[in-house]
Structure 1
């Protein structure tokens, strides 16, 4: 990692600057005053250790930027986060550039996460507005004969007023500078080829491929599934293929041999003209700039009968359903007794099991309520909030503040906390509240005031806490260090080496008796990768697994919603709940519960009760008893 650089002739010591983010190509350093420096990784960076191809790519990228960055077009729309000042090393080599840092935003990826959308009070008319703004930006970029190229949902940012920004502009295509980077979920398959069962970019990006990516992002923001999502199970086994190659063969979720995920909104909610457009795009390979009225004519409404959001004249969900079917409170399916014991017209925001008893927070009619009906506070849903529960106390956190509400809904305390990736860093179990303060101290509530457990890396730390112990990690450059701490004592065991490579997209941890299950989703070379580490309370890594997030595996899909008990991990799938455990050094499925399939999907959240498993969905909670 380079330490000393020059900006406008002034020497800057990067070793004193905080790394705000990092990805496969560069580090982002905080320069203060809402400015950052993007510094490209060199070929000798530890990130590329053992990968000659990536080392070669880093070298080629740096060579190209010596000419590309000085020639970068300055007449692009203001929503494009453009290079401002070039950053050089002592020899005058361009190693990066400065740019404004866009505050309080979420990547467009979040808008394809159904839980994020519902818990943030976002509906599809808001999504339409976001894409109308994005559409205008893309047209302005194209008018300057510039192509976005690697157009994906991590380089599109959306703020709280639905204003859109594009980042990673250094990969844009213009003049004689071509972009070779791509994201597999959004690259135009017409520009790709199959090489060794991998999709590679064989032709340069163009304006039509930008519109293709735009349409794919719109599709998944409406329906919470990529057009090539689902599981392809052809009856003819000779037609089976790896998931990544499906775009090359136009095998989309519209294909009758693709199993449509339960959690996704069905495409029948889209109007006929939009369905016809996607048929031409995805199956007939027609590439055109979007018509002017493409988004203007879409009007989403919420069905007054079933609550489904749709853009058709008649609710397709009610039309599909049998009006004589009554939603029963208690249902018996094989060895499973399912009891629906809570429903809301609003949305469930947070739930946890404390000593086998389920507790939750939900939002309904402008009020935030606990499971006993107590109104915690009033307001509206917003993105960026984190919630926690400790017995009768409820915690609301946003940015660098955590507010504690008591059992009567009165504010008991407000605490300043550290943030990481724009999230307030805190957690709670049934005993205490835990947080990282603005000086990097991990603290907990104690009888006589806050108690320091240990010191972590300010601005770079995530952590979680179970009933008996906690787990967290922090990143310092390319080094990711995990740590374990006792929930009741001082001291950190911070010697766990975690080989985390890539941009962090999501993280979560589940606690069993003497171990924890740490999950992380990373963006690596244009792909989303899920990893799982099973870590003993002593700090020993018992097992690690990884897979492409979009493949068929117990580890694929969302990393949320699982539940640990003893040495087991229970996970929801569209085919029912599965039980996972360690066998030698591998995590394997040891039991399946197919009778639970009608009551769960892969996006459900599981919690362990005393003699039951709770299933929490967006607006209802079920109890499953397995006989």
Structure 2
């Protein structure tokens, strides 16, 4: 609990009100507004806030009023609350982004916002997919105190969105960002939102990292760069837009992004491909009666298509066989063809499987249990930034009632957690979760059939959470957290056994979804599968499987099968991958 002063009145904020936390500040909900409280407000920061420009577009979440401590020193500011917003980073995932027509409409509005800021001599600067949010087709720019204006620099830039011309430049001494660097970041955001890959992503034999390829202006549009499996081929875009992207990423074009290139005639083909061409680039290339090969191979890897949809896969699990829930043309359908006729919907919809049971929860915390095609139960759970706290598998179903974690099937109170701040996952025998309070991380293990939370020590990190996930085998849980740490994406992993003992950890490893089987870890990366092993308390790379590169990418989920194969779950397909 912390007391602050707003408009001459004392205000209490607590960790239950926490909306987000980063290296510079914490943000709390306060009624219909939010309070950003700095860890340490410098004199330069306070001077910048005092001279913050007025009349900025409403989409910019600007300071409304200063927030002070009991001694009258300014420690932060009040700003509008953007309820139900999502990071632009979700647009880069084919699993979670809206139709591409809505994406380009969103960017058309963002284009207007950037033009308006530039007309006021304001530069976004640190323009990235974590401080650009959206609700529907309305964008919002947060962290407005980092804007560059009036001689005040923007002192940080995220490496994935920083203009390569600014690599190695000290951003703290003087304003270094320009309108051109904003339009570069805008183009990166648009490119990855349309094609699900960074313009300098993929893999290359000589230019090993994204930063090295950006320095060389060697983009994924070149034929010698291997695209991740999850990426959309650039041929779905019209030639004019492709030429513009080529000019920006390969020739350092930094003019205003042409607004006409956002007026795209999107079409969704019967094959499931969204494109802005006169004919579908997939069907036109393959012929209308040709479908993907069911069985493919490369070197030691054999891949069999287990399921494919023109819609999207919401969730998949290996529970005595492959189970999944897919959405196609607005209809939810299980692996056996059962239709789930729910009325729950929205971008924060969460689905979980427990054998033939389907669990659903939405942003309002409404929970439904479906047995086959019958709705058999309704319940409610707490939400975390509009994400419902629900985790289910064959062994247990956990949800929240305020600060209590409930095992729904038995009705038992398992333990107390932090309301509105708890992340939660379930396996068949184990569950895992964590919450953060005042920079302190509290992680805990859940054991099916046992009461109480087993606290796990030694799990901590710095920076803003970009994403987190946990996967399980019968005796272990693997937690992965991706953080933005000073403009860099850092991946942390912790392997925990069934007793809550931390076995091994890694910090800065490969980004991608993972699986764990008998304590062994395998990670799906854009370069293929990578095996990790525990050694002296660390997770270290044990082996690479480059032959798997055509069949997996970092955005795929991995489900171990009993015969030693892996199910690779993409946005629209599930592939069974066998290594010989």
Does 2:383 correspond to 1:419?
Answer: yes
Does 2:236 correspond to 1:269?
Answer: yes
Residue 12 (structure 1) shift: 2.5
Alignment match, 1:316: 281
Q: Give CA-to-partner distance per residue, 1:362-397, whole Å, 9 cap, x none.
A: 112332111111111156963111100112211111
Q: Is the 8 A contact 2:60 2:144 kept in 1?
A: yes
- Aligned partners of 1:144, 1:334: CA distance in 2, in Å? 57
- Aligned partners of 1:348, 1:292: CA distance in 2, in Å? 33
Alignment match, 2:39: 41
CA RMSD of aligned residues (A): 2.7
Does 2:216 correspond to 1:249?
Answer: yes
- Aligned partners of 2:37, 2:414: CA distance in 1, in Å? 34
Equivalences for residues 78-93 of structure 1 within 5 A: 78-93=58-73
Q: TM-score when scaled to structure 2?
A: 0.92
Does 2:563 correspond to 1:587?
Answer: no
Alignment match, 2:149: 174
Alignment match, 2:405: 442
Q: Is the 8 A contact 1:191 1:201 kept in 2?
A: no
Residue 18 (structure 1) shift: 2.4
The unaligned stretches of length 5 or more in structure 1 are 43-60, 235-239, 548-554
Distance 1:433 1:402, change over 3 A: farther
Q: Give CA-to-partner distance per residue, 1:548-568, whole Å, 9 cap, x none.
A: xxxxxxx4333x3x3322122
Q: Is the 8 A contact 2:57 2:116 kept in 1?
A: yes
Question: Which of the residues 407, 426, 431 maps onto 1:465?
Answer: 426
Residue 292 (structure 1) shift: 3.9
- Secondary structure of 1:139's partner? helix
Q: Give CA-to-partner distance per residue, 1:419-475, whole Å, 9 cap, x none.
A: 22321111112132111212x1111134xx410111111122112222222221111
Q: Is the 8 A contact 1:401 1:414 kept in 2?
A: no
Q: Is the 8 A contact 1:228 1:246 kept in 2?
A: yes
Alignment match, 2:461: 500
- Secondary structure of 2:460's partner? coil
Question: Which of the residues 567, 571, 582 maps onto 2:523?
Answer: 571
Distance 1:576 1:299, change over 3 A: same
Q: Give CA-to-partner distance per residue, 1:207-232, whole Å, 9 cap, x none.
A: 22111111111111111111111223
Q: Is the 8 A contact 2:522 2:529 kept in 1?
A: yes
Q: Give CA-to-partner distance per residue, 1:252-302, whole Å, 9 cap, x none.
A: 223444332222112232222222212222222221112342322x22223
Residue 141 (structure 1) shift: 1.4
- Secondary structure of 1:246's partner? helix
Residue 513 (structure 1) shift: 3.0
Distance 1:273 1:545, change over 3 A: same
Does 2:225 correspond to 1:258?
Answer: yes
Alignment match, 2:28: 29
Alignment match, 1:62: 42
- Aligned partners of 2:301, 2:259: CA distance in 1, in Å? 52
Q: Is the 8 A contact 2:467 2:482 kept in 1?
A: yes
Does 2:154 correspond to 1:154?
Answer: no
Equivalences for residues 606-625 of structure 1 within 5 A: 606-611=558-563, 612-625=565-578
Question: Which of the residues 54, 74, 92 maps onto 1:94?
Answer: 74
Q: TM-score when scaled to structure 1?
A: 0.86
Q: Give CA-to-partner distance per residue, 1:159-210, whole Å, 9 cap, x none.
A: 13x1111111111122122211111111222233379xxx999861122211
Residue 598 (structure 1) shift: 4.8
Distance 1:79 1:275, change over 3 A: same
Alignment match, 2:305: 340
Task: Single out whichever of 588-597 and 391-400 deviates more from structure 2.
Answer: 588-597
Distance 1:19 1:407, change over 3 A: closer
Q: Give CA-to-partner distance per residue, 1:9-55, whole Å, 9 cap, x none.
A: 122234586222111111112222x212101112xxxxxxxxxxxxx
Alignment match, 1:545: 506
Q: Is the 8 A contact 1:192 1:200 kept in 2?
A: no
Q: Is the 8 A contact 2:504 2:535 kept in 1?
A: no
Alignment match, 1:237: none
- Secondary structure of 1:193's partner? coil
Distance 1:93 1:299, change over 3 A: same
Alignment match, 1:302: 268
Distance 1:64 1:396, change over 3 A: same
Question: Which of the residues 205, 215, 222 maps onto 2:177?
Answer: 205
Q: Is the 8 A contact 2:273 2:310 kept in 1?
A: no
- Secondary structure of 2:260's partner? coil
- Secondary structure of 2:457's partner? strand
Q: Is the 8 A contact 1:483 1:495 kept in 2?
A: yes
Q: Is the 8 A contact 1:233 1:259 kept in 2?
A: no
Alignment match, 2:119: 143
- Aligned partners of 1:619, 1:408: CA distance in 2, in Å? 22
Question: Which of the residues 166, 169, 173 maps onto 1:191?
Answer: 166
The unaligned stretches of length 5 or more in structure 2 are none
- Aligned partners of 1:431, 1:130: CA distance in 2, in Å? 41
Q: Is the 8 A contact 1:425 1:462 kept in 2?
A: yes
Q: Is the 8 A contact 2:199 2:219 kept in 1?
A: yes
